[in-house]
Amino acid sequence: MKDCAIQTASHEDVEELSKISWVSKGYWGYPEEWMNLWKDGLTITKEIVDRDNAYKLALNSKIIGFVIISEEEKTFEIEHCWLLPEYIGKGYGSFMLKEVLKSETYRNKKFKVEADPNAVRFYEKFGFKTVGQSPSLPVGRSLPLMEMTNHVH
């Protein structure tokens, strides 16, 4: 996409990334009580940026989205994949994730994600399949657990 760049996120970005995850999740119209239950999970910290692989999507040097991928023994997990609401549905999320997945680090590796129900179709475009459900908040809610092997080139 024109004028877009994928860059490694840094400590200086954590406040902006946290704002993006919050407004992006809120885009789907969840009740305020639910949003408050998820606040800690939507907060990006310096520790997360240090521990995991954090990438930001910049459009004309403005951060409009980000992806955070953790590494487990034999699997990578997409912990976060968010866009500012005004960019949702315009191809930026697909561009961002596709560019990140092109990395040699992730080629032919297994991935999993606990997807927001609204993001299932997005992940399916990358070959993710729902393999189960993962408990969430509020109690009784669950998230689709999706997996795929990355063959993006």
- Confidence band of 26 (pLDDT split at 50, 70, 90): very high
Check if the beta carbon of residue 35 is closer than 8 Å to that of residue 91. no
Check if the beta carbon of residue 95 is closer than 8 Å to that of residue 1. yes
For residue 151, pLDDT over 80 is answered with yes
- Tell me the residue range of the domain where 43 lies: 4-149
Q: Note the pLDDT tens digit of each residue in 65-113.
A: 999 999 988 899 999 999 999 999 999 999 999 999 999 999 999 999 9
For residue 143, pLDDT over 80 is answered with yes
Looking at the structure of the chain, the number of domains it has is 1
Check if the beta carbon of residue 113 is closer than 8 Å to that of residue 146. yes
H helical segments located in 27-91: 32-37, 39-42, 46-51
Mean pLDDT score of the chain: 95
Predicted pLDDT at 1: 80
For residue 39, pLDDT over 80 is answered with yes
Maximum C-alpha span of the chain: 43
Check if the beta carbon of residue 24 is closer than 8 Å to that of residue 88. yes
Predicted pLDDT at 66: 98
For position 87, which CATH number holds?
A: 3.40.630.30
Q: What is the C-alpha to C-alpha distance for residues 42 and 34, in angstroms, rounded to an integer?
A: 12
Task: Show Cβ contacts of residue 112 under 8 Å, excluding neighbours closer than 6 positions.
Answer: 75, 76, 77, 78, 145, 146, 147
Predicted pLDDT at 133: 96
Predicted pLDDT at 90: 95
Predicted pLDDT at 153: 59
User: For the residues 37-64, what does the mean pLDDT come to?
Assistant: 96
Predicted pLDDT at 152: 67
- Confidence band of 130 (pLDDT split at 50, 70, 90): very high
Residue 138, preceding bond cis, omega within 30 degrees? Answer: yes
Task: Show Cβ contacts of residue 17 under 8 Å, excluding neighbours closer than 6 positions.
Answer: 9, 44, 54, 56, 63, 66, 80, 82
